[in-house]
């Protein structure tokens, strides 16, 4: 069986890349949380002290993301083609809201990722707030300044929260679906896995949106 040419194979590619990106999402929110301890600049400086490693990692993540998006689109089109008829009333047996709209939440996440990279990585958007142009007392790019000043803008914080809401829905189904792909889900475990996926996605959602909220409300300055 050639993995890329079979439906099962494509789902395996989706699952593997999705799980790897989930690990990144977890590590990333932990790194972001250093902002609460005034260690964000040190964390960023530590990463950029290893530029080769950073660029290799970025390339690796870009490949994972590209594969995930490609097969996500392919599987979605296959599903639509298999169900060409529309019915006056659709009954979903096990399909959840998040599962039915994966392609749309994924599209929101992809659009946000481009914006996020232009904003915080390339620092093209809001250049007056960029870390590169505003060094801290130690001469390091002031990432803390960039993040706090950016999230003080309502539009930036609101867009971030909306994107994290899409991530919440995407992960809620994605985590459950990964268990199904590996054959670890059955009638007895379905509700437990679904609940566990929802809890994990919710924790990550809270971890991410807490930062713009505490900044926007003035708790963190």
Residue with the two structure tokens 């005034």 = 38
Residues 110, 163: Cα–Cα separation, whole Å? 9
- Domain residue extents for the chain: 3-216
DSSP 117-151: IIIIIS--SSGGG-TTTSB-TTSSB-HHHHHHHHH
C-beta neighbour count of 17 within 10 angstroms = 21
Burial string for 98-129 (b: 16+ CB within 10 Å, else e) reads: bbebbeebbebbeebeeebeebbeebeeeeeb
Identify the CATH number of the domain defined by range 3-216. Answer: 1.20.1300
Per-residue pLDDT of the chain in tens (221 residues, 90 and over written 9)? 445 667 778 888 889 999 999 999 999 999 999 999 999 999 999 999 999 999 999 999 999 999 999 999 988 888 888 765 444 444 444 567 777 889 999 999 999 999 999 999 999 999 999 999 999 999 999 999 999 999 999 999 999 999 999 999 999 999 888 888 777 766 777 788 888 889 999 999 999 999 999 999 999 98
User: Structure pTM?
Assistant: 0.88
Residues 43, 57: Cα–Cα separation, whole Å? 16
Structure tokens, 166:
């899409």
């Amino acid at each position: 069986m050639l993995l890329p040419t079979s439906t099962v194979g494509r789902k395996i590619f989706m699952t593997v890349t999705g799980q790897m990106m989930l690990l990144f999402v977890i590590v990333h929110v932990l790194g972001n949380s250093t902002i609460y301890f005034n260690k964000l600049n040190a964390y960023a400086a530590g990463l950029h002290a290893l530029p080769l490693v950073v660029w290799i990692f970025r390339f690796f993540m870009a490949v994972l993301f590209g594969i995930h998006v490609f097969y996500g689109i392919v599987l979605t089109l296959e599903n639509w083609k298999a169900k060409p008829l529309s019915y006056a009333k659709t009954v979903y047996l096990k399909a959840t809201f998040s599962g039915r709209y994966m392609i749309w939440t994924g599209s929101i996440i992809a659009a946000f990722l481009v914006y996020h990279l232009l904003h915080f990585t390339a620092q093209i958007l809001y250049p007056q707030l960029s870390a590169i142009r505003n060094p801290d007392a130690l001469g390091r790019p002031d990432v803390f300044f960039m993040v706090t000043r950016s999230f003080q803008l309502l539009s930036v914080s609101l867009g971030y929260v909306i994107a994290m809401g899409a991530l919440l829905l995407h992960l809620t189904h994605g985590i459950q679906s990964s268990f199904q792909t590996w054959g670890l889900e059955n009638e007895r475990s379905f509700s437990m896995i679904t609940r566990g996926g929802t809890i994990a996605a919710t924790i990550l959602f809270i971890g991410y949106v807490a930062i713009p909220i505490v900044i926007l409300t003035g708790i963190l300055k």
